[in-house]
Amino acid sequence: MPDLVKTLAAGLNDLSLLQSPAQQQALLDYIRLLGKWNRVYNLTAVREPEQMLTQHVLDCLAALPFVKKHCPQQELVLLDVGAGGGLPSVVFAIACPDWKVTAVDTVAKKAAFIRTTAHALSLANLQAVHSRVESMSGEFDLVTCRAYASLRDFCESSHHLLKPGGMWMAMKAKLTNEEAADLPPGVLIEKIHPLQVPGLQADRCLVWMRDLRSPG
């Protein structure tokens, strides 16, 4: 655990992110919970805590400066589609306690893990829903996903949940020209941000999209 503490602190410094000691401990506790539940529920193919920290937690934290720039409202209402083991929903809920974060997954055990994590880490701003995203209701400032599906499927399944003027953000390794050209009618890619994840030599990017059919 001491090595994880140092790696997390160094990663936060590289990303210029301020997190209190309690938040840093919560991020490390999340890794512990993810590892414990992963042995039974197979939440992620990543098994080692050090790799979970770099490939999952720091990967999600690297997106935060861009999210805050695009969505400056303090009380952001966010939906994480296909949340799996809580990435990025749990990480975002820890790092940004003023945000209201909802995680949705079609797999009951994954939603149950996120609920358990929210309770264990006292994350009152995080809830998990076991449902198909197409069946959900509500309005969200930001709808996000990480390694979930094609951009077309992501946008088509969640367009009814986007607030007027809201945005989609997809966390991806690479965006191909074919996938970018296959967006639903009326959906525009507004920006693509390459990500530099501390300690990770791999392609990562954020794809920001807006629904031109919505006002705002």
pLDDT exceeds cutoff 60 at 216: no
8 A C-beta contact, residue 69 and residue 152: no
Q: How far apart are the first and last CA of the chain?
A: 46
Which pLDDT does position 214 carry in this prediction? 57
Question: What are the tens digits of pLDDT across the range 93-139?
Answer: 999 999 999 999 999 999 999 999 999 999 999 999 999 999 999 99
- Supply angle C-alpha 160, 102, 92, rounded to 5: 120
Is the residue at 150 inside a domain?
yes
Q: What is the CATH number of the domain that holds 175?
A: 3.40.50.150
What's the total number of domains in the chain?
Answer: 1
Question: What are the tens digits of pLDDT across the range 38-80?
Answer: 888 878 888 899 999 999 999 999 999 999 999 998 899 999 9
Is the residue at 187 inside a domain?
yes
At 75, give phi and psi (nearest 5°).
Answer: -100, 70
Is the residue at 113 inside a domain?
yes
- The boundaries of the domain holding residue 73 are 2-211
Which pLDDT does position 42 carry in this prediction? 78
Is the residue at 216 inside a domain?
no
| DSSP category for residue 166 | E
Q: How far apart are CA 83 and CA 128, in angstroms?
A: 9
